[in-house]
Structure 1
């Protein structure tokens, strides 16, 4: 209680106006590194902004926006969309950006955004990164008001340190503090606190192998982006980057490279989006000179196996811990498979708002297995993981160029009394991917094994429904299985933001109905297998053991 009171007192004091004046121009020119979207910028000129596939009215006379989802409000108040107006490159866009920033200063929002240091950090970095675009040519009064607000918001971030655990977003707060420190060097406390807390934040974010505790390619991407931008700010001010920043990039970049497919975009695990491959490559080149790909990620629990032109990426780890699980998905043991630059089997992607955000976290939205149409992980109303597997195992063996992965989790043990074991094999030439899926439980359950197909891949099921043919780079590949019923069904793909129709291969092993179970019991009694004591219901008593084997391979020419 005392700590909370002290923190709130510091915050209130930091936001008092009149505690010193800032210069009317930043000491250093800081430029945002990333290209904007002129289409979205044109929408903003018409009073509309676009976020996560949906358009919203841009109302700038009331910045509370209580009717908007939290993710939308954070983005709107973060001002990273200034780059979209900058992409238009005309005076109308410049004046619109200037007017919106002035409106925010005139209509300051109240809690909880005031206490969101990450959003505040994004806003300060965006203001200074686009100062030359919207503010440099404004009158002295405008610039003075902007810089005075920068000073107050920088004090706000400083008062909120140390930050609560919030994944990579803590780096956004520190980047904003750095922007304020470099823009107003007289506030020496800003820079000293940035140096003090950067190392602390990186230490709790990064695992020993360079993966983030979030266990997400998206978090890895965002963390590298934050550090790259900090590095660029410091170089603009001719200040050598501190050792923790350089060391952080050295450890993070190889893992991010390992989480890319041949098209250059990210693998879709735990809330990731594909992102433009060239943008990812540019960021990595800014972050690390050497193009090293992580050979192993034992702490993060990801497995990357490349043979020939084929690439297999598997999530073989536990869900991220509390505080890092805001974007976690129920995709434990799911995988993605690509051939050359073409994604083949994928997870369905992610969304930040709306019904899709919930649906895409489910196990059924992954190349994985569901039992009884349930997910192996449950989520709390607040967005974190409420129920997770108690045990996840993964073993990787390589021999003569071929690779085996032996994986298992007990995420279905609590709700259904079942365990799942997945064994994967990738041949040395990359043209044969095999799997064996074993479910053992206390009772019979409905199995559904899903292979979501990238929308660019044509697929059709044979007339006999015994195999699915896919066309990859002009060659036929076929999927076959034993132990279940094969079908080709509709799916959806949100790797790039928009919902795109797709297909999925589904292998089901139906639970026998009551009549079938009764028939089996009669047959057992006929051969003398009558139980010594009265039976419980068969569906409860009879143990369940089922195996589905499958192969995906290039068809002979």
Structure 2
């Protein structure tokens, strides 16, 4: 009722107000780079975002048949970065045309006016004002400024927003950007700051991880928080005391979620193709070069020895309300050697409206074990249903070597089964030993998968008990296993800019075989 009353007052203020500023009083700068290639696609009338491609031209803002994430991206206008990166007069004209079309559209989907999307749009329009509006005519600028004031009032009235995940920070960022750029609406700032500290306390874990357990979401929240800090500095406003320390802890945690090629590990809706952006975010966050090897609260573990890096998801999935990007990848791991990825997960297409979105969230798309082709968590469109509730971890290190023992109960209710995974990485980083077990009263059929990066080739050796894996550099690794049949099968990789064919090593249990597979991955030569 209070939120409804605030919205009514915001509408009343919009009707009564005749004073719309001619331009932002203080500049707001969007600090993140765009991609000229994606900008060129927008000029041609389509938008590419996180595994999906959709039309984006005048007259398309009323469409509502895209996925919720794609709709949020389209109506949030963060893609203005891509047009700015292109930097041509045609890019400026297209930006103005699309913004004018959006303002004039009277049949937008409900997603377009939700607080997180409104916040993203406010920050994007203000952050790119000099790019697309400085050379525009007076009618366009007046229309734009009137809409900015209207949306900022309604966003303020919507606080605190209903979304309880990382989108809350995007909404707060938009309101703070409006308060900085529109000093006559300075009351927006204390209202935004009132809710910022509680969200930081609720969403950022003690180890610096974000509670959604998605490296991509972690990066997005860190971007929002660094932008908020810069906005407050430009307005000479006092930041909440928790903000600097939170940004520093999140930067340390983010470094722990990267492979040596600079990209993120592919867990829970994440792709690898953002190394330059990550470097920029970390430079904006601060100069600390430390990285965390154990993110105890979120459950990610990083094992490094020699040139080998292993990142393991050894934590329970995020809870309801925080699981929009959650995958059924408990106990999955990725392995890279130097700047080359060897074992990966299949990636994600969270903005896709096709079956690929959920297929990539399933356990079979991760480098871990699956029982009876049933995912360890139940995949639902809005998050997860059944999921592991107890994930146990025991980690030890000695003389540069690492030992990690983990287990989860994701199949306990269905099959009375526990999956246990043990990993040992030698001090040289050239010898990884693994043991995967299914502990159950009755034998369970299971499959163990090692998805390979598309640049890796695999071939079965003559004894059918080992596979030779060859990296692009020519370096070879041998994967041997006992207790299951070994095959090389097709896979697919959504970790980069485009889907790519790949291969996977598959270890399949036999009906009368043991409920345990021992395997070893060793460098050759």
TM range (shorter): over 0.9
State the Cα deviation string for residues 524-544 of structure 1 (Å, max 9, x = none): xxxxxxxxxxxxxxxxxxxx9
Change (3 A) 1:114 1:552: closer
Change (3 A) 1:200 1:374: same
Alignment-derived partner of residue 197 in structure 1: 195
Alignment of 1:99-110 (within 5 A): 99-109=97-107
Alpha-carbon separation, structure 2, partners of 1:32 and 1:81: 11
Farther off after superposition, 126-135 or 84-93: 84-93
Alpha-carbon separation, structure 1, partners of 2:233 and 2:412: 53
Alignment-derived partner of residue 443 in structure 2: 444
Does residue 98 (structure 1) correspond to residue 67 (structure 2)? The answer is no
State the Cα deviation string for residues 36-59 of structure 1 (Å, max 9, x = none): 222222232233333344443334
Secondary structure at 1:460 match in 2? strand
Change (3 A) 1:116 1:252: same
Deviation at 1:114, TM superposition (A): 5.3
Farther off after superposition, 499-508 or 162-171: 162-171
Change (3 A) 1:313 1:54: closer
Alignment-derived partner of residue 533 in structure 1: none
Alignment-derived partner of residue 7 in structure 2: 11
Checking the alignment, whether the CA contact within 8 Å between 1:329 and 1:363 is kept in structure 2 is yes
Alignment of 1:517-532 (within 5 A): none
Secondary structure at 1:186 match in 2? helix
Alpha-carbon separation, structure 2, partners of 1:376 and 1:55: 30
Alpha-carbon separation, structure 2, partners of 1:99 and 1:447: 55
Checking the alignment, whether the CA contact within 8 Å between 1:260 and 1:267 is kept in structure 2 is yes
Alpha-carbon separation, structure 1, partners of 2:368 and 2:322: 23
TM-score (norm 1): 0.90
Does residue 477 (structure 1) correspond to residue 487 (structure 2)? The answer is no
Checking the alignment, whether the CA contact within 8 Å between 1:265 and 1:277 is kept in structure 2 is yes
Does residue 464 (structure 1) correspond to residue 469 (structure 2)? The answer is no
Checking the alignment, whether the CA contact within 8 Å between 1:439 and 1:545 is kept in structure 2 is no
Alignment-derived partner of residue 72 in structure 2: 74
Deviation at 1:550, TM superposition (A): 0.4
Checking the alignment, whether the CA contact within 8 Å between 2:459 and 2:469 is kept in structure 1 is yes
Change (3 A) 1:9 1:239: closer
Change (3 A) 1:273 1:55: closer
State the Cα deviation string for residues 426-480 of structure 1 (Å, max 9, x = none): 1111111001111122323211010111111222111221211112443221110
Deviation at 1:193, TM superposition (A): 1.2
TM-score (norm 2): 0.95
Checking the alignment, whether the CA contact within 8 Å between 1:440 and 1:545 is kept in structure 2 is no
Alignment-derived partner of residue 494 in structure 1: 494
Secondary structure at 1:411 match in 2? strand
What runs of 5+ residues in structure 1 fail to find an aligned partner? 513-543
Secondary structure at 1:125 match in 2? helix
Alpha-carbon separation, structure 2, partners of 1:56 and 1:399: 52
Alignment of 1:360-439 (within 5 A): 360-381=360-381, 383-439=382-438
Alpha-carbon separation, structure 2, partners of 1:84 and 1:419: 47
Alignment-derived partner of residue 287 in structure 1: 285
Match of 1:330 among 310, 328, 339: 328
Alpha-carbon separation, structure 1, partners of 2:172 and 2:283: 22
Alpha-carbon separation, structure 2, partners of 1:510 and 1:113: 49
Farther off after superposition, 224-233 or 492-501: 224-233
Deviation at 1:361, TM superposition (A): 0.6
Alignment-derived partner of residue 266 in structure 2: 268
Deviation at 1:125, TM superposition (A): 0.5
Deviation at 1:278, TM superposition (A): 2.1
RMSD of aligned C-alpha atoms? Answer: 1.8
Alpha-carbon separation, structure 2, partners of 1:496 and 1:388: 28
Deviation at 1:272, TM superposition (A): 1.1
Deviation at 1:142, TM superposition (A): 2.0
Does residue 547 (structure 1) correspond to residue 516 (structure 2)? The answer is yes
Checking the alignment, whether the CA contact within 8 Å between 1:64 and 1:109 is kept in structure 2 is yes
Larger Rg: 1
Alignment-derived partner of residue 84 in structure 1: 82
Does residue 227 (structure 1) correspond to residue 225 (structure 2)? The answer is yes
Alignment-derived partner of residue 172 in structure 1: 170
State the Cα deviation string for residues 89-126 of structure 1 (Å, max 9, x = none): 22222122112111211224556225511100110000
Checking the alignment, whether the CA contact within 8 Å between 1:481 and 1:549 is kept in structure 2 is yes
State the Cα deviation string for residues 293-346 of structure 1 (Å, max 9, x = none): 124211111111111111111111111011110100001011111111111111
State the Cα deviation string for residues 134-177 of structure 1 (Å, max 9, x = none): 11122223212211211111111111111224321111101100
Deviation at 1:417, TM superposition (A): 2.0
Alpha-carbon separation, structure 2, partners of 1:170 and 1:229: 14
Alignment-derived partner of residue 159 in structure 1: 157
Alignment-derived partner of residue 123 in structure 2: 125
Alignment-derived partner of residue 355 in structure 1: 355
State the Cα deviation string for residues 339-390 of structure 1 (Å, max 9, x = none): 1111111111111212111001100100100111110100234x22110123
> What is the number of equivalent residue pairs in this alignment?
520
Secondary structure at 1:118 match in 2? helix
Secondary structure at 1:487 match in 2? strand
Alignment-derived partner of residue 314 in structure 2: 316
